[in-house]
Structures are given as C-alpha cells and as structure tokens.
Amino acid sequence: MSKVPAVTDATFAQEVLASETPVLVEYWAEWCGPCRQVSPVLEELADDYGDRLRIVKMNSDENVVTAAAQRVMAVPTLQVFQRGELVASIVGAKPKRALAAELDRFVQ
C-alpha cells in the first residue's frame, strides 16, 4: 500500500492548503516516465520524514483545475506548501539525496 495518498481538485484546499504540516505535492501523469522514477523515492521520503512532512500526489491529467491554478507546466513537478503558501517548486526527476536537501529547509 502506498504511503503517498492522492489528492484531487476537490480535496486540494483541505488536504494541502489547510494543512498545519508542510506538504509536498507531486504532480504526475500516467504516461510520464520520470514520474515513475520519482514515485519510489517519494515513498522512501514519506518514511524518512514521517509526521514532519506530508507527501501527496495529484494526477495532473485528471485534476486540471488545480494543476492550472498552480501553474504546473511539466510533470513531474514537486511543490512544497507551508501554511497554505507555495514555498518551493522543483521540476523534473531528482535523486533522493537532492530532494531531501531541498526538503530539509522546510522540515523541523
């Protein structure tokens, strides 16, 4: 079972913007090869960060309203939200160490 739950246009505001915990959103698509590379890395990061960082995924083909509102132009795009504000955006697949270095800035 995945440790990275899905969010949708309908649940984005509650699950991401209203979260007290920092949230990493992965925008992905079924046809995206690099997205498949990032997925297991995000599962590992979900284990590593535990309750300090929430990681969710959003299918950008099925949730075009939020993807457009967040100006997602390519997948995978990873966005970090803190207290409802976008604080970081990472485009493209990155190795675990590089992602962790970016995320450590937002996690206590």
* CATH code of the domain covering residue 44: 3.40.30.10
- Nearest one of 24, 16, 69, 65 to 43, comparing CA atoms: 24
pTM value?
0.94
The structural domain count of the chain equals 1
Residue 34: cis peptide before it, omega within 30 degrees of 0: no
All residues at 6 or more sequence positions from 44 whose CB lies less than 8 Å from its CB, including other chains = 96
Active site residues: 32, 35
How close are the terminal C-alpha atoms of the chain, in Å?
Answer: 27
Per-residue pLDDT of the chain (108 residues; tens, 9 = 90+): 678 999 999 999 999 999 999 999 999 999 999 999 999 999 999 999 999 999 999 999 999 999 999 999 999 999 999 999 999 999 999 999 999 999 999 887
| Complete edge-to-edge strand list for the sheet that includes strand 54-59 | 54-59, 23-28, 77-82, 85-91
Specify if 5 maps to a domain. no
- Nearest one of 64, 105, 63, 61 to 87, comparing CA atoms: 105
**Dihedral sign, CA of 108, 93, 8, 30?**
negative
- What range defines the domain where residue 70 resides? 12-106
